[in-house]
Amino acid sequence: MANLRAGLVGAGMMGRHHARVLGSLDGVDLVGIVDPDGDKHGVAGGRPVVDTVEALVDLGVDYAVVAVPTAFHLEVGLVLAEAGVHAIVEKPLAENVAVATQLAEAFESRDLVGGVGHIERYNPALQSARARIEAGDLGDVYQVVTRRQGPFPGRIADVGVVMDLATHDIDLTAWVTQQSYASVSAQTAHRSGRPHEDLVAVTGLLSNGTVVNHLVNWLSPLKERSTVITGEKGTLVADTLTADLTFFENGKVATTWAGLSQFRGVSEGDVHRYAIPKPEPLRVEHENFRDAVLGKDADIVTLQQGLATVTVAQACLESATSGQSVSLS
């Protein structure tokens, strides 16, 4: 069977990593790159670098990776969809619900495979956490708390911290719990003089009653990527910077100290730091999308899931503006 022919739209800070993976992915040939600024990072490896998406389509591609600023996702996506090219679009799918809906409909109406690059789903720590929750290791999930903070990335200019960073946490929370968002309440701040928000605190409720909290900012010299999932049997802590997963188990030993035994909550039990395989998340993401294009079983972030994430993110911004909680159907 011939290799799939893949193209890349955008060879910037994220696009260069996509180029590296596509250029070494089994069963795939990277045949061309679109970037009007040329090959600034030297990732083309002798492959054609063209100025337009139409020129990439003319090279004969089966699918493409869209790694351009969010504001251009619709323009690029519509050209690819109309040409019958499958596509994985970097997150967020779009800057608002209306555009995200239009993109999803463009690919779905043509029976094309469309995906969204929510790479955190493929982090080994979260993959393991998801499997353990599904196996019942945590029991009912009570709460998910995420913290995602660090310095401002100069490459981001078209969206704020909610669409750029909080969408990671919204997607991974819905996926790891297999629940949808029922409501959100958010507060944002503008502290750095940019037109978009650079800090957000979100409280939400999921469809099965799980409470969630997301703390996200571009204002901290401390880079942190933490997901804490608390359930009836204990707490899972995923550090997605190091891909480590730790389980703090509820205690099973009876407390004989009279003063402490009056406490009706849980007690400290064993702590397990799991030894888990740690493949590169971006490569796993690409392998799954390749398999989806081939019609194989694959775990991709669908366009509808990407749309759902944008819907929740937009609700967070609406809540911050109105000062009211926003319900999601």
Q: Which one, of 165, 156, 149, 168, lies nearest residue 221 by Cα?
A: 149
> Looking at residue 260, what is its pLDDT?
56
Structure confidence at residue 232 (pLDDT): 95
Q: In sequence order, what E strands does 190-243 have?
A: 199-206, 211-217, 219-231, 234-239
d(CA 243, CA 11): 26
pLDDT tens sequence across 37-70: 998 989 999 999 999 999 999 999 999 999 999 9
Residue 57: per-residue pLDDT: 98
Whether residue 294 is predicted with pLDDT greater than 90 in this model: the reply is yes
Tokens 């490569």 — which residue? 283
- In the numeric block, which tokens belong to residue 46? 């002798």
Percent of the chain whose predicted confidence (pLDDT) is above 70: 95
Tokens 């996506």 -> residue: 77
Mean pLDDT check: name the lowest of 110-119, 189-198, 234-243, 272-281.
Answer: 189-198
- 186 forms bridges with which residues in the sheet? 202
pLDDT > 90: percent of the chain: 87
Q: C-alpha dihedral over 202, 208, 210, 216, to 10 degrees? A: -30
pLDDT at 213: 98
- Determine contact, residues 107/81, Cβ cutoff 8 Å: yes
Average pLDDT over residues 285-312: 98
How are beta strands 49-50 and 28-34 bridged, if at all? parallel
- Distance (Å, whole) CA 45 – CA 59: 16
- Report DSSP state, residue 42: S
The per-residue pLDDT for 254 is: 62
Q: What is the pLDDT of residue 1?
A: 76
Q: Show contacts of 267-275: CB within 8 Å, 24+ apart.
A: 269/234, 271/246, 271/247, 272/246, 272/247, 273/244, 273/245, 273/246, 273/247, 274/128, 274/245, 274/246, 274/247
pLDDT at 263 over 70: no
Give counts: helices (H), strands (E), the chain. 10, 15
Q: How confident is the model at residue 153 (pLDDT cuts 50, 70, 90)?
A: confident
Torsion of CA 267, 272, 273, 275, to 10 degrees: -160
In sequence order, which ranges of the chain are alpha helices (DSSP H)? Answer: 15-22, 53-58, 73-82, 97-108, 124-134, 161, 167-177, 258-261, 281-293, 303-322
Mean pLDDT of 202-224: 97
Q: Mean pLDDT in the chain? A: 94
- pLDDT at residue 255, rounded to an integer: 61
- Residue range 113-140: average pLDDT? 97
Q: Going from the N-terminus, what domains does the chain have, and what CATH number goes with each?
A: 4-120+283-303 (3.40.50.720), 124-278+309-313 (3.30.360.10)
Kindly report, residue by residue over 161-183, the tens digit of the pLDDT: 999 999 999 999 999 999 999 99
DSSP 96: S
Instruction: Choose between 268 and 260: higher pLDDT.
Output: 268
Which pLDDT value is given to residue 193?
83
In the numeric block, which tokens belong to residue 83? Answer: 């040409």
- 256-266 residues labelled b (16+ CB within 10 A) or e (exposed): eeeeeeeeeee
Least confident of 69-83, 104-118, 186-200, 288-302: 186-200
**Per-state percent for the chain, helix, strand, coil, to nearest 5:** 35, 30, 35
pLDDT band at 197 (very low <50, low <70, confident <90, very high): very high
